[in-house]
Amino acid sequence: MDFKVITSSPFFPLGFVNTSMRPNVLLMCKLVFLLLVFHGFYAIINDPYIPFISYLDKFNDFPNVYKNTLRTLFFTSGIFMLFNFKVRYMSFVLGLTIAFVLLASKPNFANHYFICACILILASLIDKKQTPWLLFMQISILYFGAAINKMLQVDWWNGQFMHNWLANARETHVYIYMSDLLPEMWLAKLLSWVAMLVEISIAVLVLFKKKHRLVTWMILLFHTFLYTLTAFRFGHFYEDILIILLIFINHIPGIIRVSFNKLKEPFVTKLFSFLNFNDTFSFENRVLKNNKWLEVEIKNTTVSNWDALRLFLLYNTNFYIFLFLLDLLIRYLFNGFLMNFIHISLIWITILFFLPLLLKKRKGQLI
Amino acid sequence: MKIRYFLGITFLLFQVLLIIYARFVPERFFCWAPYDQHTQMEVEVVINNKKLTKKEIQERYHYRSIGWEKRSINNVFDIIKQYESTYGLNDNAKVVVKYSINGQKQQIWTLK
């Protein structure tokens, strides 16, 4: 079987280029749908029960109609979107479906579902040629709301919330140990003030395109630090926000040239060519000088070796799908402490690997 | 394209309005306010002099009856009030919620 016939089809799920959405935005939408599926969102789609809109209670006169309609819409729109069929329409329907699931049940409301609905709806309104400003503004509103709600609570200023959460609710040993070494409530206050400062900073900075690289790293480090400290992902909010960070990847028009050193990596080109579903890259095997093993050329800018690998992975949709599936695999293979330890370790290794992209001077619009 | 952008901006502005609206009501739904309070709570329900079990309370409100509430405790009160004024109107349930916000002194909320 010629796999190229399948992978070059416009309906191939791992193809992101030939649709009406930006590739990174479409990847975000697909991963959000898969995240909801794997986290059992299907199970909470039910008939209205203590709804936000009391009118929805009328559907209880017709049992299972509301439930089955939304379940059908959820899966149909999600699967069609996975297979690149009318992606913006499907994203809108999927987002609206999630919204109606939440509106139908106050007990089921959760911010990690609400953000999924919002970004799917907004993603559907963004043209392929547009910068996703609606999504940037969504992030701003999210962190603005979070910061405002905290800043208006005395218990956030005096550290009471943080201490109660980390010491009593989560029983975070690292926090308890360090807190005992420092003056009373000092650490709690510091963590509280830093959290509020980071959130309001993100809310403001995300509105400036030149600050997007900084904002990406602030969000990534802030939430990863929280996860590391508490071993808690806030439902699947941590995964949601990491997936949303895909919107900050700059769109690169044209082909990215990837050159492997023929002498060192003779067979790698074939593998990566096979996985090049989006024709984003052109791969070649040639002799590279000065001990280079990899070279990447983007818009007349050439980087080599580890920098090249970072950029290659950054603009490779397969890399993010791999991370997503790896995360799921770890979740299903392990439990408790071991699962969190492996997750957190791998996340920090990945962060440290890509950290030079933050520290290096910007190379045009590449990073 | 302009219509789509207008719809998007409207959707975002609606969220801003919800954040502002949240300043005037005790509940914290749809205003991006998770983890601004952490409340230890326990819900007790008595119907016809019979105290419901934790499982029965969970089945009644589709919500936990004991444990940590990660959002405003007023969200829980709102769920209980709405249930008891609609599906449970004829049960004449007596509901008491014992709760402690952020490790502060315990308080008691009673359904009226």
Determine the average pLDDT of the residues in A310-320.
Answer: 92
Please state the ipTM of this predicted complex: 0.95
Domain ranges of chain B: 1-33, 34-112
> What confidence category does residue A361 fall into, taking pLDDT thresholds of 50, 70 and 90?
low
pLDDT at A1 over 90: no
Determine the average pLDDT of the residues in A75-102.
Answer: 98
A263 reaches B (C-beta below 8 A) = no
> What confidence category does residue A264 fall into, taking pLDDT thresholds of 50, 70 and 90?
low
B101 reaches A (C-beta below 8 A) = yes
A96 reaches B (C-beta below 8 A) = no
- pLDDT value at position A367? 46
- pLDDT value at position A253? 72
**With an 8 Å Cβ cutoff, are A165 and B16 in contact?**
no
- CA A213 to chain B, closest CA, distance in angstroms equals 23
* Of residues B23, B68, B75, nearest to A169 (C-beta): B68
Give the C-alpha separation, B27 to A300, whole Å.
Answer: 54
Helix (H, G, I), strand (E, B) or coil at A283: strand
Side-chain half-sphere CA neighbours of A92 within 13 A: 13
Name which of A4-18, A126-140, A204-218 the model is least confident about: A4-18
Closest Cα to residue B74, out of A168, A106, A143?
A106
- Can you say how many angstroms the Cα of residue A190 is from the centroid of all Cα atoms in its chain? 28
Determine the average pLDDT of the residues in A296-315.
Answer: 90
Give the C-alpha separation, B21 to A136, whole Å.
Answer: 23
Chain B hits for A152, Cβ within 8 Å? 23
**With an 8 Å Cβ cutoff, are B86 and A50 in contact?**
yes
Give the C-alpha separation, A251 to B83, whole Å.
Answer: 49
Residues 26-55, chain B, touching A (beta carbon < 8 A): 28-38, 40
Residue of B11, B57, B68 to mutate when probing chain A, most A C-beta within 10 A = B11
pLDDT at A165 over 50: yes
Helix (H, G, I), strand (E, B) or coil at A260: strand
- Can you say how many angstroms the Cα of residue A241 is from the centroid of all Cα atoms in its chain? 5
Considering the entire predicted model, what is its pTM?
0.94
Which one has a higher pLDDT value, A77 or A263?
A77
For chain B, give the mean pLDDT. Answer: 94
Chain A hits for B32, Cβ within 8 Å? 111, 141-146, 149
Positions in chain B short of pLDDT 50: none
> What confidence category does residue A254 fall into, taking pLDDT thresholds of 50, 70 and 90?
confident
**With an 8 Å Cβ cutoff, are A134 and B5 in contact?**
yes
- pLDDT value at position B12? 97
- pLDDT value at position A366? 46
- CA B50 to chain A, closest CA, distance in angstroms equals 23
> How would you label A241-259 residue by residue, b for 16+ Cβ within 10 Å and e otherwise?
bbbbbbbbbbebeeebebb
- DSSP for A208-236, please give it: SGGGHHHHHHHHHHHHHHHHHHH---TTT
Give the C-alpha separation, A46 to A69, whole Å.
Answer: 10
- pLDDT value at position A263? 63
- Residue by residue, what is the 3-state secondary structure of B5-69? HHHHHHHHHHHHHHHHHCCCCCCCCCCCCCCCCCEEEEEEEEECCEECCHHHHHHHHCCCCEEEE
- pLDDT value at position A175? 95
For chain A, give the mean pLDDT. Answer: 92
Side-chain half-sphere CA neighbours of A173 within 13 A: 1
